Amino acid sequence: MKRYFICFLAIMSITACTQKNVFFQDWDTPYGIPPYDKIKVSDYIPAIKEGIRLQQAAIDAITANPDAPTFENTIAPLELSGIALEKVSGVLFNVSETDRSDALDKVVEEALPLLSAHEDNIAFNKALYERVAAVYKSDQSGLTAEQKTVLKNHFEEFEREGIGLPEESQERLREINAELASKCQKIGTNILAESNAFKEKFGFSVSAYPEKMTSTADRALRRQYLEAYTMRGHNGGENDNRSLAVEVLKLRLEKARILGYETSAAYELSDKMAHDPATVDSFLEGIMKASTAKAAREVAEMQEIMDADIAEGKLPEGSRIEPWDWWYYAERVRTAKYALDDDAIRPYFHMDSVRNGIFTEAKMLYDVNVEPVKDAPVYSPGNVQTWKLSYGDGSLIGIFTTDYLPRSSKRGGAWMNNVRSQYIAADGTEVRPIIVNVGNLAEYMNVDQVQTAFHEFGHALHGFLTRCTYPSVSGTGVKRDFVETFSQINEHWAFEPGLLALYAKNDRNEVIPQELVDKINASLMFNMGFMTTELCAASMLDMKLHEVTDFEGFDIDAFEAALAKEIGLNPEIGYRYRTTYFNHIFSSGYNAGYYGYLWSEVLDRDLFSRFEASPRGVFDKELATEFKRTFLEKGGSEDPMELFKSFMGREPDNAAFLRGRGLVE
């Protein structure tokens, strides 16, 4: 069954006899924002146990119903059965990733087995399955498109999780699921510890690694940075992830085999758009061939500059571009080609200015108004800001929290979390979402960080603008290889001149000069061979790890090296993520799914081509309204390919993707 504590992204008040635990109370806060200042670490586990009890009671009521199964008496209450549990898990898993502590780590370690067992109790509930199956096999003509999708998802998820297996197989699956939850959490904790150790050693966070590699002239020091960065989780001791990663991969393979699949990749892809590993492998191979060729041309350009350094006596004869040289010499090429200096750009992209930019874009496209929520409770005072989003008629869209700056208690990367999702409650009222964007960005951002902010707000808009009835398909509740479409398309507006003129201003309120705007846009396809190759290689590593059929004597280092040779990875480029710190595939649900960034990019660039072709320009509000109604409002309630074809009038075309990444001449 779907992991209910992360799938039913919605919150409602828990009714319970005790009033001491904050999760058992109605929250007298603006818009139902969690009262972070009142939540104690000791509140979480009792609240999780109560949420589990309440959901199980709701399911027992469904299965005990003597009436013939219908959507309204089976599927609808099943959709809302996990709402109480989400009130606590929505807070816990957000705070544990952004403001962790040893005490919170212990809570999560205790919570995961409880949640895993609870999810398995639902997945293997035969009485519940029989009611769901009866509805699925009955006449569906009276159901809406959203109801049909929700019903299909529940039925197929029972099948995927092993409802038809013998009891001994189900018991083994329970053990595997519990072990996976625990081990994946440990991998994530180890990655954070290794990243903090990196910062302690060098004085800057892993999120600042690209910037440091770009600006550090000392070649030996760059090599130290790269070796420390790529050895995270690979240094021995208690934070070493090598054996843990292999154990997780073995368990995933065993689970897939029990469920009737040859590999864990085949299992994971069975409910995705791509559907099978062969489709993904072919898709990635085509991109890799083009990107490595472009990267080789980029190496040649960098080598010319390195040769000049050799001629000036700055480097020894015979020096060649190595992985620790790429960022530095790529920046030298960029400066020479576009005369674009990060130090000249950053003053116009202060964190507050960029945030104003994403809000302005939302207004221009979707008529979204934004205002700060004063005195809102936050989980990390001084680091977190809260905003109210509404339409022109005053109707609430949702509550938005931004948490942009790095700190040692926050895991690396950037992401969007639903603390509460949009859905229609049992009494017919609409619950509006509470969403957080988290990043590890600089106070004054470079081009990549600006794109990251727009990317994560694209996810947020997907969650905010949805108008679904059922929580499992609301907002970002879409197929994993479709979800990045809406974050990535939002990046395309970031550097549009009309928008930059409104938000890209320095501390003297001066608008970014047109000369810099032109340079930024001219440079956006720069270094795309490297960036595409790095991303594609990581996607292929993810896929191939999950296509292994025998882990006897498996060695991660040997596997990574052999794969790099097999896929033709340029020797000057390493994997974006090595296995031991590939958090996406161990702790973020992207196992056999990291390819989704590239898969979605084919779709998002194709979709954006309609905006580019609009005679009213890329801020065509009428077209944006059509886009919102077709995609954002519908969440995962309809088949993604059918939605795509209804908007574009055809099948996807990868021409815009190839042009956008400079992979065609």
Sequence letter at residue 96: S
Please say whether the beta carbons of 511 and 505 come within 8 A: yes
Q: How much is the average pLDDT of 471-489?
A: 97
Q: What tens digit of pLDDT does each residue of 384-442 get? A: 999 999 999 999 999 999 999 999 999 989 999 999 999 999 999 999 999 999 999 99
The residue type of 194 is: E
Mean pLDDT of 243-257: 98
The structure tokens listed for 622 are 């009428």
Question: What is the model's pLDDT at position 20?
Answer: 85
Q: Where are the alpha helices (DSSP H) in 411-513?
A: 447-464, 480-491, 497-503
Q: Would you place residue 9 in the very low, low, confident or very high pLDDT band (cuts 50, 70, 90)?
A: very low
CA 658, distance to chain mean position in Å, is: 23
Over residues 100-113, the pLDDT tens digits come to: 999 999 999 999 99
| Residue 145 one-letter amino acid | A
CA distances from 572 to 181, 216, 303, 324, 326 (A): 36, 18, 11, 8, 7
Mean pLDDT of 451-461: 98
- The whole-number pLDDT of residue 239 equals 97
pLDDT band, very low/low/confident/very high, at 555 (cuts 50, 70, 90): very high
Q: Which residues contact 628 (CB under 8 A, 6 or more apart)?
A: 366, 465
pLDDT in tens, 277-336: 999 999 999 999 999 999 999 999 999 999 999 999 999 999 999 999 999 999 999 999
Helix (H) or strand (E) holding 417: strand 415-420
- Average pLDDT, stretch 84-93? 96
Token pair for residue 154?
A: 């529940």
SS3 389: strand
Share above pLDDT 70 across residues of the chain, in percent, rounded to a whole number:
97
Reported as a single tens digit per residue, the pLDDT across 124-142 is: 999 999 999 999 999 999 9
Q: Give the pLDDT confidence score for residue 400 in this predicted structure.
A: 98
Residue-level pLDDT at 15: 33
Sheet containing 434-438: give its strands across: 369-372, 385-390, 396-403, 434-438, 415-420
Mean pLDDT of the chain: 95
* Residue 457 near residue 437 (C-beta atoms within 8 A): yes
| pTM assigned to the model | 0.93
The proportion of the chain whose per-residue pLDDT surpasses 90, expressed as a percent, equals 95
The residue among 664 and 292 whose pLDDT is bigger is 292
CB atoms within 10 A of CB 199: 15
Note the pLDDT of residue 18: 46
pLDDT exceeds cutoff 70 at 14: no
Joined tokens for residue 257: 């085999």
d(C-alpha 460, C-alpha 69), whole Å: 36
Query: Given the structure tokens 């999560």, which residue do they identify?
Result: 108
The number of beta carbons lying within 10 Å of the beta carbon of residue 68 is: 11
Tokens, residue 483: 């979800």
Note the pLDDT of residue 19. Answer: 58
Q: How far apart are CA 345 and CA 442, in angstroms?
A: 13
Phi, psi angle pair for 372, to nearest 5°? -70, 150
Mean pLDDT of 564-573: 96
45, 243, 322, 597 alpha-carbon torsion, rounded to 10°: -50
For 462-473, b/e burial (b = at least 16 CB within 10 A) is bbbbbbbbbbbb
Asked whether 155 and 132 are in contact (CB, 8 A), the reply is yes
pLDDT at 7: 36
Q: Say if residues 575 and 270 touch (Cβ distance below 8 Å).
A: no
Confidence of residue 341 (pLDDT cuts 50, 70, 90): confident
Give the pLDDT confidence of 355-365 residue by residue, as tens digits. Answer: 999 999 999 99
Task: Tell me the per-residue pLDDT of 140-175, one tens digit each, with 9 for 90 and over.
Answer: 999 999 999 999 999 999 999 999 999 999 999 999
Q: Is the four-CA dihedral 296, 300, 306, 311 of positive or negative sign?
A: positive
